[in-house]
Amino acid sequence: MFRWIAIGVLSVAVIGTAVWGYNEYSEKNEIKIQAENEYQRSFHELTYYMDLLNDEIGTALAMNSKERLSPQFVDIWRLTSQAHSNVGQLPLGLLPFHKTEQFLSDIGEFTYQTAVRNLDDNPLTEEETQKLKDYYDQSGQIKDELRQVQHVALEEGLNWMDVELALSDENAQQDNTIVNGFQTVEKSVEGFGQADPENSTISTNTQDHSYKNLTGSEVTENEALQRAMEIFEIKDKDLLSISKSGEGADTPLYSISYNKDEEHGYMDMAIKGGHPLNLLVSREMKEKKVSLNEGSEKAKDYLASFGLEDMTLFQSSEYDHIGVYSYLYNDNGVRVYSDAVEVKVGLDNGDLLGLTTNSYFMNHTDREIPEPKISEDEARDNVNSTVDIQESHLAIIDNNAGEEVLTYEFLGIMDDETYRIFINAENGQEELVEKLDGKEVNYNSVL
């Protein structure tokens, strides 16, 4: 009798173990399928956005209306942000793809800075038009190479989960079509040449891809949706769609979007802390009721709500009833150009329409700022005597070597043109001279 009881108990145990094992296998398989689907979505969206990006740049080149160029450049900037987000959601953590990411950032920076200036007073120069043509040719090359990878991947039924395995095995990398295709894209971008580091004082150095100032606990998907509802001012959570970056992403994030009537919104939110990194809302603009100055106050309030304190407005402009504001971190009276954020505010109702905090979260850190070794008067002596200096500050900028240097920043006018001049606070050397291209300068910054 005991023998039969023992056999029965063992049978139940074996069956239970088998059921448990099957459930474990099923759960792991479901996770793999979900991850594979996310990777496939991100890759096909990346290919699609590169197609659109190339088309939109070509459209900009064919345009003759300055009124249409600014919104066209905004569309191109938006596409670079979306393509950049898709790259971050692919399992490419072990594959050098930084040149391609920087290429997308360069296009975004160029089109953004061009979009926010007055193209009637400052139309595209021949050099800028040539740069746009180069971007068109280069994005077309990347588009074709991605399409080739896509064609082979679909034709042969290639699996993105195999890419993760290949990237962790140097020998397997040589036989993986997707890995080889992305390496081809990266090599092509290397041949495009380097971006001019003097195009902007705002740092775009993201080589280490690390967000040093992401504070707080990780937020769940539901918490991210609640946060997005507050930011987008949406009451119906069902309007929002959300996806999580793949495990190979440099920074884990949620991509959240919505479509409501004629209004569309998109945001990248860091999982750590729930900080918004990129945000863009597209809608029809109504009659202007908010001044550019009032918009700057609203922009600063938005930054404060995101935990970004001690920010100083240094540049503002307006197009199509949208105020565009650039803020710098103020470190005890020193303006830090690396820690920059940009905010867009609707001047019809004061709504938040755009936000870019990548540079801030990538570069912000506790700095030990040295005392200047020369006085402000000594630094002024190294500024061209024909420049009428209107304003001065201490500022930290990135030099051509990508190193942070303490400078005296002088804002001055020469021949009815405004210039920003940076003099090294240690040795008096001229670090950078930047013509402001007709952008509205804030002369009432309070440090």
- Domain span holding position 250: 221-363
Q: Between β-strands 417-424 and 430-435, what pairing exists: parallel, antiparallel or unpaired?
A: antiparallel
Residue at which a domain ends, from 309, 339, 363? 363
**pLDDT over 70, % of the chain:** 72
Confidence category of residue 161, pLDDT binned at 50, 70, 90: low
Q: Is residue 17 part of a domain?
A: no
* pLDDT per position as a tens digit, 123-140: 888 888 898 999 988 888
Measured over the CA atoms of residue 338, residue 339, residue 344 and residue 347, the dihedral's sign is negative
Best CA proximity match to 203, nearest among 364, 443, 366? 364
Q: What is the mean pLDDT of residues 292-316?
A: 93
For residues 175 and 103, membership in a common domain is answered with yes
45 sits in which H/E element: helix 2-62
For residues 383 and 300, membership in a common domain is answered with no
Instruction: Kindly compute the dihedral angle of the four CA atoms of residues 280, 286, 292, 296, in this order, to the nearest 10 degrees.
Output: -40
Provide the number of structural domains found in the chain. Answer: 3
For residues 36 and 179, membership in a common domain is answered with yes
Q: What is the mean pLDDT of residues 307-331?
A: 89
**pLDDT over 90, % of the chain:** 27
Q: Is residue 265 part of a domain?
A: yes
Q: Is residue 285 part of a domain?
A: yes
pLDDT at 97: 61
- Comparing 30-34, 129-133, 398-402, 421-425, the range with the smallest average pLDDT is 30-34
pLDDT at 19: 52
* pLDDT per position as a tens digit, 206-259: 444 467 678 889 999 999 999 999 999 999 998 998 888 766 566 788 888 888
- ∠ at Cα 439 (312, 342), nearest 5°? 40
Quick count: other Cβ atoms within 10 Å of Cβ 438? 15
pLDDT of 333 over the 50 cut: yes
Q: What is the mean pLDDT of residues 357-369?
A: 88
pLDDT at 173: 47
For residues 296 and 403, membership in a common domain is answered with no
For residues 359 and 387, membership in a common domain is answered with no
pLDDT of 198 over the 70 cut: no
* pLDDT per position as a tens digit, 29-66: 555 566 677 777 777 888 888 888 888 888 888 776 67
pLDDT of 438 over the 60 cut: no
pLDDT at 85: 74
Give me Rg for the CA atoms of the chain: 26
Helix (H, G, I), strand (E, B) or coil at 202: coil
How far is it, in rounded angstroms, from Cα 23 to Cα 36? Answer: 20
pLDDT at 94: 43
Best CA proximity match to 341, nearest among 203, 217, 242? 203
Q: Is residue 92 part of a domain?
A: yes
Helix (H, G, I), strand (E, B) or coil at 397: strand
Q: Is residue 7 part of a domain?
A: no
Helix (H, G, I), strand (E, B) or coil at 159: coil
- Highest-pLDDT range among 195-199, 212-216, 278-282, 342-346: 342-346
CATH code where residue 380 lies:
3.10.450
Residue at which a domain ends, from 167, 190, 213? 190
pLDDT at 6: 53
362 sits in which H/E element: helix 358-363
For residues 183 and 34, membership in a common domain is answered with yes
